Amino acid sequence: MAQMLVAKGYDVFGMVRGQANPKIPMLQEETPELELVEGDLQDLSSLIGAVEQVQPDEVYNLGAISFVALSFRQAELTADITGLGVLRMLEAVRIVGGPSSGGSGNPIRFYQASSSEMFGKVRETPQTELTPFHPRSPYGAAKVFGHYITVNYRESYDLFACSGICFNHESPRRGLEFVTRKVSNGVARIKLGLQDKLVLGNLESARDWGYAGDFCEAMWLMLQQDRPDDYVIATGQSHTIRELLSLAFAAAGIDEWEHLVESDPRFTRPAEVDILTGDASKARDNLNWKPKVDFPELVRMMVEHDLSAESAVTGRPF
């Protein structure tokens, strides 16, 4: 998101928590134009200070405890950051740059990163903006609160506040704890002889996976419209983890892969989400948006990145 906005000519500020945040060097290396400002989604006063300091035209709230499995182990923390953090950010925007705040310039436009995990135990397939929510994790439940509080602030205070109900969006920067990156990195390490097997949970779970760069474009487009609204952002196609594995091993030149993968029940969730498929017709019609990177290309991109990265670290050619 930061790199895309810089390329569009924005002055971009990234909010970081803490003075010794370990991600700061990585951020500065990848996007040197990015200016950092301190703030904490658990502390309203720090958010008001950050917004006052920056005086932004647009705020993109992508911060959250975003790993679903962790949300079961740290449910209260997830509720506080992923749920109440949205309320605090909206309140800071309302106080500093809302239509009735008395501030100079145009009112701040706000984007909230909602999630397909809000649909959880799906009531219909594919899921649209009108599909009822039935979250199956503390993360999904917290995202539902964040989504509805964004709607509430839009309707109560006339904020330009949008939610993008984003289905899974991936890239080589995805954390190693997420299944797509766990697969791409594991396949790369198997190819290079650095590990023997890949251990996963339910191989039949299916998700609507897209490319993060495409989704960032949709987020930006939402804030360029005349009126705020909520949009499902998705590819419209779902794939199982088994399909993900097949494509990933093929990208590494490994045809026979079944014996290299184990399914371990320890990696299943207390409440599973079996399949998610999004209908992004509204975004296509109103935003003129559609994904550019398809699933096989996305998987190949991630595997090739991890092969190159692991080879550079270990010196093993691929």
User: Choosing from 91, 117, 170, 217, which is the catalytic residue?
Assistant: 117
Instruction: Give the bridge partners for 200, in sequence order.
Output: 263
Residue 115 designated active-site: yes
Residue 38 designated active-site: no
DSSP 60-74: EE--S---HHHHHHS
Q: How far apart are CA 304 and CA 299, in angstroms?
A: 9
10 Å CB burial of residue 60 (0-12, 13-18, 19+) is: buried
Per DSSP bridges, beta strands 239-240 and 206-207 are antiparallel
Give the C-alpha distances (Å, rounded to integers) separating 48 from 10, 45, 91, 104, 259: 21, 5, 8, 16, 54
Q: How far apart are CA 53 and CA 75, in angstroms?
A: 32
What is the per-residue burial (b if ≥16 Cβ within 10 Å, else e) of 266-286? eeeeeeebeebbbbbebbeee
User: Choosing from 115, 116, 171, 238, which is the catalytic residue?
Assistant: 115
User: Choosing from 46, 66, 91, 139, which is the catalytic residue?
Assistant: 139
C-alpha dihedral sign at 179, 181, 186, 191: positive
68 contact partners, CB below 8 Å, separation of at least 6: 117, 137, 139, 140, 269
Q: How far apart are CA 178 and CA 183, in angstroms?
A: 9
Residue 66 designated active-site: no
**CB distance 200 to 183 below 8 Å:** yes
Residues annotated as part of the active site:
115, 117, 139
